[in-house]
Amino acid sequence: MSGTLAILGTGSEVGKSLVCTALLRLLRHRGILAAPFKAQNMSNNSAVTFEGGEIGRAQYTQARAAGLEPEVAMNPILVKPESDHHSQLVILGQAAGQLKGNRFFARNQELRELAFAAFDDLKSRFGRVIVEGAGSLAEVNLRDKDFINLGLAQAKGIPVLLLADIDRGGVFAQIVGSLEVLSVEDRSRIKGILINRFRGDRELFADGVRWIEERTGLPVLGLLPYVPHLHLPAEDAVALESLDPPMPPSGPSIAVLQFPRISNFTDFEPLGRVAGLKLHFLRYPRDLSPYSMVILPGSKSVLADLAWARELGWDEKILAYHGQGGVLLGVCGGFQMLGQDILDPQAIESEQEEGYGLGLVPILTRFEKPKTLKRRKATVAGVEVEGYEIHQGQSLFLERQRPWLSTEDGPEGWRDGQIWGTYLHGLFDHPRFLSLFLQESIGFHWSPNPGADPIDHLAKALEPHLDMVRIIEILEGD
């Protein structure tokens, strides 16, 4: 189909989201408008669109890269894991029940038709669509149920670029093995190969590129460099698995607790771009005294993650840190954990009906329907920012609120000494606000670079290594 292109991967975490983001920005620089699309995301990192719908954070970022307002059609199906066998289903931006075990496949035809309709809608309005796949395109046992990768490409006549990750090792097997298990029909959709995260001298891999092209009969249209310190939104918590550092930090540093069901951890990625400030995600309890601040992030299942924290002894570490004068920030679910009673009588998030938080903030939280999905503008010390709310727990202040943010709907959040709390996600995406917050909360002075744009940085880093002429020809159907 003219005006479409799919980036499908040899596996998860090979860089599909980042490559799609870069391509959308590079097309925009060339005056070519294209919309992002991912039929189904499985992620607890989400954002709220202007119309009040919830989509994956990756497609939200890709829309921004393309110069478009994010919308639910760009990610019509979002699956938010709550446990190994239990997920919340979000359809066209709205919570649509829960999935348990293999019940997802019982709705396969319904979800396929919905995803295809969203794709057709985007194509009719924008003319060009860049599709991001999910996981590996070579999951042959799921091929008859697939509407995200080659199932979508075949149904809509979309040309495909296959993306592999050389940094993992075994890139030849990744590429050749993926192609070998495909049917002849599926194999015919693939028009080129991209190799991601290459380090070192490119000339030393010239023979490797030749071998791949001769073995597969497909052109290598990009040998893309490893680009460190991007800090663009990650797809899911896989990206956090290696971020539990063995040594305590020295100097200004912030710790984020890595709950098993952590959500919207992308809220804190801007902290990793602050020069002179260390950011650590911590899963296992340790002495928190070396940290300037400890953050309790959002959670897809607050009571379950709170029980996990108590089982490991995190509660004692947090309370000891607070008793020593440590600074705490709770965001959304983490804010609820800082409070007192947490009630879930309808089992909206978990089967546990009630629990007790850390008792540091005088709020009572009750989980209710419907889900709150809202973009909000907030002001603090004359700095205006935009954030968004995604939660079902509603909190009641048990004493006079001590807010630190002003919104169009009234005061928001809590600040009392060294404890800060808010329901708003995305606040740190605004450099001026982040600078002010760091100064006020931990006395850290940082002047942001007003011209810094991580998407532009990514696009400029990849552009010299992409055959954009040929890629655009494939996109346009030539």
Q: Which pLDDT value is given to residue 295?
A: 97
Q: Are residues 467 and 328 in the same domain?
A: no
What CATH number has the domain bearing residue 271?
3.40.50.880
Taking alpha carbons only, the member of 60, 53, 437, 52 closest to residue 266 is: 60
pTM of the model: 0.84
Does residue 297 sit in the same domain as residue 186?
Answer: no
Total domains in the fold of the chain: 2
Mind giving me the DSSP string for 41-57?
EE-S-EEE-TTS-EEEH
Considering the domain architecture, whether residues 291 and 153 belong to the same structural domain is answered as no
Q: Is residue 210 included in any domain, yes or no?
A: yes
Which residue among 20, 332, 391, 430 is the active-site one? 332
Residue 447 falls inside a structural domain: no
**Which tokens sit at 297?**
């992030």
Q: Are residues 334 and 368 in the same domain?
A: yes
Is 20 part of the annotated catalytic residue set? no
In angstroms, the CA 9 to CA 412 distance is 42
CATH number for the domain harbouring residue 132: 3.40.50.300
Same structural domain for residues 225 and 313?
A: no
Question: Whose CA is closest to 236, among 20, 45, 87?
Answer: 45
Residue 450 lies in a domain: no
- According to the model, what pLDDT value does residue 233 have? 59
CB 5 within 8 A of CB 131: yes
Q: What is the pLDDT of residue 43?
A: 85
In a domain, 243, yes or no: no
Neighbours of 262 (CB within 10 A): 23
**Within a domain: residue 403?**
yes
Q: Does residue 283 sit in the same domain as residue 209? A: no
pLDDT of the residue at 241: 47
pLDDT value at residue 185: 96
* Same domain, yes or no: 216 and 324: no
461 and 438 within one domain = no
pLDDT by 10-residue block (mean), the chain, 478 residues: 94 94 97 97 88 92 95 94 76 84 75 96 97 95 94 97 95 97 97 95 93 97 86 55 74 94 88 91 94 95 94 96 97 96 86 90 92 89 89 91 91 94 93 94 89 85 96 93
Residue 31: inside a domain: yes
Region of 381 on the Ramachandran plot (φ > 0 left; ψ -120 to 50 alpha; else beta): left
Q: How far apart are CA 138 and CA 13, in angstroms?
A: 15
Give residue 238's pLDDT.
45
Please indicate, yes or no, whether residues 192 and 273 belong to a single structural domain of this protein. Answer: no
103 and 17 in a common domain: yes
Residue with tokens 């850390």: 358
In a domain, 213, yes or no: yes
Do 213 and 285 sit in the same domain of this protein? no
**What residue numbers bound the domain in which 257 lies?**
253-442
Cα–Cα distance measured from residue 409 to residue 281, given in angstroms and rounded to the nearest whole number: 33
332 part of the active site: yes
Given the residues 280, 322, 391, 425, select the one marked as catalytic.
425
Residues 219 and 336 in one domain: no
Structural domain includes residue 278: yes
